[in-house]
C-alpha cells in the first residue's frame, strides 16, 4: 500500500439538483463550459491533477498547499466576476474545501482521511467560498496574502479528532491614521458584551442559585450525538434581531461571528463552529436539545 502527503481540493456546485430540475440541458452545458474554459485551466496552471469528476463535483490533488489554496481562491474570484454579469437563475456557484493530509494511492485514485476531510470541508463551505483545514492553514498562513478567518473546531463524520476550520478571503486593508480599525472597535464591543453577560450571569446565579436549573434544561450525556471534548466547550447561538429594522440582522449576525471568532482564540476552550450553530438561526429550540446535538454541556 503506497501513501503520500498531498493537498486535496474537493468542490461541487451549489444547488445542483435545483438547477438540473429547472433546465437540465442548459445546466449541463454551462457546467461543461465552465470546467473547460475556467476551472480546468486554473487547475493546470497551479500544477493540480483532477483525480475524478463526480457529477457536479470534482476531487483534485496538488503537490503544494499554496498552489491548492491559490487555485481555489482564483476560481472563486473569477466565478464571482462571471456571475455578476448573469441573471441569478443562470449563475453557477461552487463550494470548495481543502485539506493537507495523508492519502492512499491506488492506481490513479486516492483514498483515506486526507480525502475525507476535504470532502467534509467542501460540504461546510459557504456558496462561493473556500474552507481549509488547520493542517492546510499551517502551511499557507505566512505565504499567501489572503485573509484567513478562524471558524473554530468542527467534528466531521468518520474523523476522530475535531478539525480546525479557516475561511479564505481577500485580506482586509489596514486603516492608517489615529483612528482605530473597525475590527478593533468590534472586538472592544464584543469583549464588553461578553463581560456584561458574565457579570449578569454571576449575579443571577448568586441571586437564585439552583432555582435557575430545571431538569428539562439539562442535557443528557447519554443522548449526545457526539462525544464530549476533553476540555470546556461552548456553542454561541445566533443573536435575534429584536428591533423592527430588518437590516439589523446583519449586525446581530456579525456580533455572533465576532463572539465565535474571539472565543476561539481562548486556549483550552473548545468552540463549536459557526456552520453548526447557525442552523438554529430563527428557530425556537431548547438549550438541552442544542447541547445534545452539538456535544456541549449545559449547567
**Hey, where are the domains in the chain?**
2-170, 213-294
Taking all residues of the chain, what is their mean pLDDT, rounded to a whole number? 79
Contact criterion met (CB below 8 Å) for 190 and 259: yes
Mean pLDDT of all residues in 144-160: 88
Name 13's bridge partners.
94
Contacts of 22 (CB under 8 A, 6+ apart): 89
Neighbours of 221 (CB within 10 A): 12
Distance between alpha carbon 225 and the CA centroid of its chain, in Å? 20
Distances in Å between the Cα of 123 and the Cα atoms of 13, 48, 163, 226, 263 are 10, 21, 14, 19, 24
Residue 107 has pLDDT above 50, yes or no: yes
CA–CA separation, 11 and 59 (whole Å) = 7
- The pLDDT > 90 percentage for the chain reads 46
pLDDT given for residue 187 in this prediction:
52
- The pLDDT > 70 percentage for the chain reads 69
Q: How many residues does the chain have?
A: 299
pLDDT given for residue 175 in this prediction:
39
Instruction: Tell me if residue 12 falls in helix, strand or coil.
Output: strand
CA–CA separation, 69 and 100 (whole Å) = 11
Q: Predicted confidence band at 274 (pLDDT cuts at 50, 70, 90)? A: confident
Residue 61 has pLDDT above 70, yes or no: yes
CA–CA separation, 280 and 250 (whole Å) = 16
pLDDT given for residue 284 in this prediction:
73
pLDDT given for residue 20 in this prediction:
92
Query: Nearest 5°: CA angle at 233, between 172 and 199?
Result: 80
The domain 2-170 having CATH identifier 3.30.70.1230: the answer here is yes
Contact criterion met (CB below 8 Å) for 154 and 163: yes
Contact criterion met (CB below 8 Å) for 38 and 142: no
Q: Provide the terminal-to-terminal Cα distance of the chain, rounded to the nearest Å.
A: 48
Predicted TM-score of the model (pTM): 0.61
Q: Predicted confidence band at 42 (pLDDT cuts at 50, 70, 90)? A: very high
pLDDT given for residue 234 in this prediction:
77
Amino acid at each position: 500500500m503506497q501513501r503520500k502527503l498531498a493537498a486535496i481540493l474537493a468542490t461541487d456546485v451549489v444547488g445542483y439538483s435545483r438547477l438540473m430540475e429547472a433546465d437540465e440541458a442548459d445546466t449541463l452545458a454551462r457546467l461543461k463550459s465552465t470546467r473547460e474554459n475556467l476551472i480546468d485551466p486554473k487547475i493546470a496552471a497551479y500544477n493540480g491533477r483532477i483525480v475524478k469528476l463526480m457529477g457536479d463535483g470534482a476531487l483534485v490533488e496538488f503537490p503544494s498547499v499554496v498552489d491548492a489554496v491559490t487555485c481555489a481562491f482564483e476560481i472563486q474570484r473569477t466565478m464571482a466576476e462571471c456571475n455578476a454579469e448573469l441573471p441569478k437563475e443562470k449563475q453557477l456557484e461552487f463550494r470548495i474545501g481543502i485539506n493537507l493530509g495523508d492519502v492512499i494511492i491506488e492506481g490513479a485514485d486516492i483514498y483515506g482521511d486526507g480525502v475525507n476531510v476535504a470532502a467534509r470541508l467542501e460540504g461546510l463551505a459557504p456558496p462561493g467560498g473556500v474552507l481549509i483545514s488547520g493542517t492546510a492553514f499551517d502551511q499557507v498562513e505566512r505565504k499567501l496574502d489572503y485573509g484567513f478567518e478562524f471558524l473554530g473546531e468542527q467534528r466531521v463524520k468518520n474523523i476522530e479528532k475535531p478539525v480546525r476550520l479557516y475561511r479564505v478571503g481577500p485580506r482586509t486593508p489596514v486603516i492608517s491614521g489615529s483612528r482605530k480599525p473597525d475590527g478593533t472597535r468590534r472586538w472592544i464591543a464584543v469583549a464588553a458584551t461578553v463581560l456584561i453577560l458574565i457579570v449578569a450571569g454571576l449575579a443571577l446565579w448568586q441571586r437564585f442559585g439552583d432555582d435557575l436549573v430545571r431538569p428539562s434544561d439539562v442535557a443528557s450525556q447519554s443522548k449526545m450525538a457526539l462525544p464530549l471534548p476533553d476540555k470546556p466547550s461552548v456553542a454561541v447561538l445566533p443573536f435575534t434581531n429584536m428591533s423592527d429594522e430588518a437590516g439589523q440582522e446583519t449586525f446581530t449576525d456579525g456580533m455572533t461571528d465576532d463572539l465565535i471568532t474571539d472565543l476561539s482564540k481562548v486556549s483550552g476552550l473548545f468552540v463549536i463552529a459557526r456552520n453548526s450553530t447557525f442552523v438554529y438561526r430563527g428557530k425556537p429550540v431548547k438549550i438541552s436539545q442544542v447541547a445534545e446535538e452539538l456535544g456541549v454541556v449545559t449547567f
